[in-house]
Structure 1
Amino acid sequence: MALGPLPVHGGDLVAAERRWGRPQAGWLDLSTGINPWPYPVPPLPQEAWTRLPGRAEEEGLRVAAARRFGVADPAQVLAGPGTSALIQALPRTRAAVRVDVVSPTYGEHARAWAAAGHDVRAVSRLEDAQSPVQVVVTPNNPDGRMVAPEFLRVRAAALAARGGLLVVDEAFADMAPDISVAPFLAPGLVVLRSFGKFYGLAGLRLGFVLGEAAVLAAVAAQLGPWPVPGPALAVGAAALADDDWERATISRLAGAAADLDGVLGGAGLRLVGGTSLFRLAEHDDAAGLYDRLGRAGILVRAFDFDARRLRFGLPPDDSALARLAQALA
């Protein structure tokens, strides 16, 4: 079978089946950084499904999100239909400028700014960025690299002084809340937060942009009315208010990541980064290993910018971990 191109995003089982066919045992999808133990969806009121969301429901979600992310004022929180939609909307709120994106990272940032007419440049470190708009993901996808909050605050203040903007994507910050810059919102700083990754409910399509009122108003105008459906408002508010689940999940994910490290290291892969939702590993024949895993029905993430590296999400149970270990042996 001729090998097709790499899937553009994790979780693309259609592209995987075009490349390898459908596995008899079904797919073990380790290509995403989504929690395999999702938040238990609570019973929802019938009105969440049958009427348009109201201001009370939207305010309830903003209050819960502000508390969870450490934001002083719920008015500095705007919810949207997934972080991806917010990544697309934000560039459309500004006139065309040069934009530096700390790379390699999540590819939608550069694509979205370029599609909105901006001149996008990749830089390897935030210290090297000089453009009026600068974008950084911390912890970064796929290597888990983090930038200190104090450095981000200083950089945002410098950009604000010349009308610029620092965009900080904290999609994977739930497992390491101390590295978040969300509690320090100020002019020149915008923070993006995901919901689906840590809470394991990616299909709910919920995300947040945190920032000053003028920035949020411009993004809201791009999204239009009722951007978040009633069920997502209700589930999001309940999940973000559940402190016990958050603490237990941070611990559970850390333990699962350690178990995955043992399997990867035992198979001769070199661990080079990641978060407790995914691990980045290096192998001299990563392309061959990627293909072998695909033929075994295990989808992991490969990268066109570095053929030596593979990203592994967390196996959902002991049998899945054993299946991975066997395929790697």
Structure 2
Amino acid sequence: MLEHGGRLLRAVRQYGIAREAWLDLSSGIAPWPYPIPPIPVDAWARLPETEDGLKAAARAYYGARQLLAVAGSQAAIQALPQLRPTGRVGVLSPCYAEHPQAWQRAGHRLIELDEAQVEGTLDSLDVLVLVNPNNPTGRRIPREQLLAWHARLAERGGWLVVDEAFMDNTPEHSVVQCAERPGLIVLRSFGKFFGLAGVRLGCVAAELPLLQRLADLLGPWTVSGPTRVVAQACFADQAAHPAQIERCAQASQRLAVLLERSGLAPTGSCDLFQYVRSDRAAHLHDFLARRGILVRLFEYPPAVRLGLPASGADEQRLAQALADYQKETA
């Protein structure tokens, strides 16, 4: 299994700090979960009904003409490489590590690229995979550039796979509205923006024949009945969406200022996290963990990613720990 954020129970065991004493900033998930609506007993007792309105609610929220709900975008990440013959797959790196692993596992030849290498390599690729905004750096590639890359790939029957797991905060930059075009596949994650990662829901937007093939591969009832109820309520709560966008943006900016004042100016970000490259990333990670603050560590390049503190008290706790770190490393 690859390393991910949110491994709080492991940190509890490793550092001997009780779970309730931790400030967990290791995942890029909004720390203000949407309220859970009442869930009818039928949602638990019956097999899920695909005609229950979830697809329509998701299409309206994302602005996509066709999509498939899946058990977290992770399910699609693992399944998509099985839907085409083995070939040359470019992955824009650094990247969410599940993407390259899934394509390699399916027998494809993987080519890791930085952004400057894409133009010169694209015409030799069968598939280009990227995360936008990027995880973990927060780097966002302009919409026009993505559509130009897609057009070149599609001419040869290639795919552009765009993982927009962190795009809900900046929906104006999404390409999901174009995902009916052959060869453009867009992944969206429900749990990050709505703060409900535990429901395990994602959506895939693409042309209908590909969605049908993906649905056949994944099989029936992939999204549970209770999840479908919760998601529909969240998608439909239009008044709450701009409020969540604004709250995340403000918290992310405050976090950036806090880090900069602590001598740890972010090198990347989006509205759900801040990313700091540092040769001392492992030391910083351990220093904070010993004080009950969990952040995400990346080994190459060495960096940490910090999710949003949920409250002023959490921000103050982080600020004090970073001030202590400054003193120790001065």
Partner of 2:314: 320
Whole-angstrom CA distance in 2 between matches of 1:322 and 1:294: 16
What does 1:13-32 correspond to in 2, within 5 Å? Answer: 13-23=8-18, 26-32=21-27
Q: Give structure 1 stretches of 5+ with no counterpart.
A: 1-6
1:120 matched to 2:110: yes
Q: Which moved more, 1:11-20 or 1:211-220?
A: 11-20
The residue type paired with residue 80 of structure 1 is V
Q: Which moved more, 1:60-69 or 1:13-22?
A: 13-22
Segments ≥4 residues shifted beyond 6 Å: none
Contact 2:8–2:19 (CA<8 Å) still a contact in 1? no
Partner of 2:46: 51
1:56 aligned counterpart, secondary structure = coil
1:138 matched to 2:138: no
Q: Which moved more, 1:190-199 or 1:116-125?
A: 116-125
Q: Deviations over 1:53-76 (max 9, x none)?
A: 11321xx111111111111x2xx1
1:158 CA drift (Å): 1.7
Whole-angstrom CA distance in 1 between matches of 2:238 and 2:71: 23
Partner of 2:197: 202
1:248 CA drift (Å): 0.4
1:21 CA drift (Å): 2.9
Contact 1:25–1:297 (CA<8 Å) still a contact in 2? no
Partner of 1:3: none
Partner of 2:250: 255
Q: Deviations over 1:148-188 (max 9, x none)?
A: 22222222122111111100000000000111001112011
Contact 1:196–1:203 (CA<8 Å) still a contact in 2? yes
1:17 CA drift (Å): 3.6
Relative to the length of structure 2, the TM-score reads: 0.92
Partner of 1:174: 168
Relative to the length of structure 1, the TM-score reads: 0.92
**Identical pairs, percent:** 49
The residue type paired with residue 205 of structure 1 is R
Question: CA 1:91–1:43 in structure 2 vs 1: closer, same or farther (change >3 Å)?
Answer: same
Q: Give structure 2 stretches of 5+ with no counterpart.
A: 324-330
Whole-angstrom CA distance in 1 between matches of 2:23 and 2:286: 14
The residue type paired with residue 17 of structure 2 is R
1:47 CA drift (Å): 1.0
Whole-angstrom CA distance in 1 between matches of 2:103 and 2:111: 10
Contact 2:133–2:166 (CA<8 Å) still a contact in 1? yes
Aligned residues between the structures? 317
